[in-house]
């Protein structure tokens, strides 16, 4: 089944990144994060302009007021086998006007969801750009499966998708997926010709959710549909993510600013409005700069820095005190895992991996752990090494228990350093 195996948690009071990965049968398409910055930059990579993606923390009525116009919604949910649609699947001549592509490759559902919204959007703010325009023109006469094959074989789209990949900390042989593994899937919702459609690449066609009255907001129609879908799951399930495809906010604010400046009437309210719009434009610039910075960090390999930091701490006899403090903090914040024959508690594995400062002094690399089979569970190793480093680095930077004159030895200039 062609589904994504990555997701974020979506709830009113928490948002925590979670990931379950299986790269087997992923082809040339990598996993990408469900993140508005990633999706916005992905759209830019496609060559489309005038549109961006915003994350929604709730689906209450007021959440959309400052985002209009909203062209579509991207919904991420836990995929359930044998989940049949409650509404009819479109298989008639409407497919000649609705761009619907069937998903034919794993890990592409995020890209396919956003492209489905873009290619069905006729708003004047949205410019598809040459690549998506050619794709739509070339494949519009195809059936859904051929459209999916055309999309998945586009070198530009695949390159843009893979450019969003996160730098892996470790490379492991892929595990064989079991039927009990959780799978997560992206779909899109949008109004087309006065009706609400659900665009799910795993279906044979768009799902028709009925007409939208002329005086009715399509968001009021889609809201109960999404809530009904969420309520199907057990109580306490929060594995959902919702994002909105909206017009470029900076473009909207610049347009409003130009209109305000053209008015001859000068009042305090007008001056305040102009100042507000300028601040919103500046905020959008800062937000896009932050997205770019996060992408650089997402793709950077921090492993050499982590290894060098641990080595310096070991040479300065600071590693074990920080490790003990990190273990103490970890035990307070998170429950310990039950011990098994191959995997002990969190503290047991911290100790087995980092028993002494000398372990790092002569050079340490993760391969030595894997080769010696100190820890058998790869995911457990990677997660806890990262977690331990977060605690240790935070304590080290706070520098509460280290004398000010205790200067650390600087690494050799030939050592690999992050930019």
Please list the residues that pair with 7 across neighbouring strands.
Answer: 18
Active-site pick, 71, 161, 185, 209: 185
DSSP per residue, 175-196? PPP-TTS--EEEEEEEEETTEE
**How far is 359 from 369, CA to CA, in rounded Å?**
11
**How far is 368 from 173, CA to CA, in rounded Å?**
16
CB atoms within 10 A of CB 262: 7
Active-site pick, 4, 30, 109, 121: 109
Tokens of 205: 């066609």
**How far is 338 from 343, CA to CA, in rounded Å?**
8
Active-site residue flag, 15: no
Contacts of 89 (CB under 8 A, 6+ apart): 203, 204, 205, 206, 207, 208
Helices (H), 336-408: 346-353, 358-361, 366-371, 378-398
Active-site residue flag, 30: no
**How far is 317 from 309, CA to CA, in rounded Å?**
12
- Residues annotated as catalytic are 109, 185
């Amino acid at each position: 089944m062609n589904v994504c195996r990555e997701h974020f948690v979506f709830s009113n009071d928490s948002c925590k990144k979670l990931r379950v990965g299986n790269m087997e049968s992923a082809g040339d398409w990598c996993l990408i994060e469900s993140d508005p910055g990633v999706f916005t930059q992905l759209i830019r990579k496609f060559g489309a302009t005038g549109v961006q993606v915003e994350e929604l923390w709730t689906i209450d009525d007021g959440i959309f007021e400052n985002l209009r116009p909203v062209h579509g919604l991207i919904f991420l949910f836990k995929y359930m086998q044998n989940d049949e649609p409650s509404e009819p699947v479109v298989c008639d001549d409407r497919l000649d006007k609705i761009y619907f592509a069937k998903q034919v490759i794993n890990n592409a559902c995020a890209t396919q969801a956003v492209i489905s919204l873009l290619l069905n959007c006729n708003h004047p703010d949205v410019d598809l750009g040459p690549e998506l325009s050619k794709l739509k023109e070339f494949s519009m006469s195809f059936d859904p499966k051929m459209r999916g094959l055309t999309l998945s074989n586009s070198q530009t789209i695949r390159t843009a998708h893979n450019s969003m990949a996160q730098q892996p900390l470790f490379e492991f042989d892929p595990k064989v997926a079991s039927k009990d593994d959780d799978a997560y899937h992206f779909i899109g919702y949008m109004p087309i010709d006065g009706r609400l459609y659900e665009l799910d690449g795993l279906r044979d066609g768009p799902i028709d959710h009925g007409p939208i009255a002329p005086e009715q907001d399509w968001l009021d129609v889609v809201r109960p549909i999404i809530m009904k879908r969420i309520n199907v799951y057990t109580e306490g399930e929060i594995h959902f993510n919702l994002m909105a495809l909206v017009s470029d906010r900076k473009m909207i604010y610049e347009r409003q600013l130009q209109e305000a400046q053209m008015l001859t009437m000068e009042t305090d309210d007008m001056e305040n409005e102009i100042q507000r719009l300028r601040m919103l434009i500046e905020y959008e610039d800062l937000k896009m700069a932050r997205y770019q910075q996060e992408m650089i960090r997402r793709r950077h390999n921090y492993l050499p820095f982590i290894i060098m930091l641990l080595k310096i701490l070991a040479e300065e006899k600071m590693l074990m005190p920080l490790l003990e403090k990190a273990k103490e903090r970890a035990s307070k914040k998170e429950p310990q895992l039950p011990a098994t024959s191959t995997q002990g508690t969190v503290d047991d594995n911290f100790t087995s991996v980092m028993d002494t400062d000398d372990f790092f002094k002569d050079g340490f690399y993760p391969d030595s752990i894997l080769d010696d089979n100190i820890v058998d569970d790869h995911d457990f190793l990677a997660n806890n090494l990262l977690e331990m480093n977060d605690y240790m680095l935070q304590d080290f930077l706070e520098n509460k228990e280290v004398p000010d004159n205790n200067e650390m030895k600087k690494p050799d200039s030939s050592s690999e350093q992050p930019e």
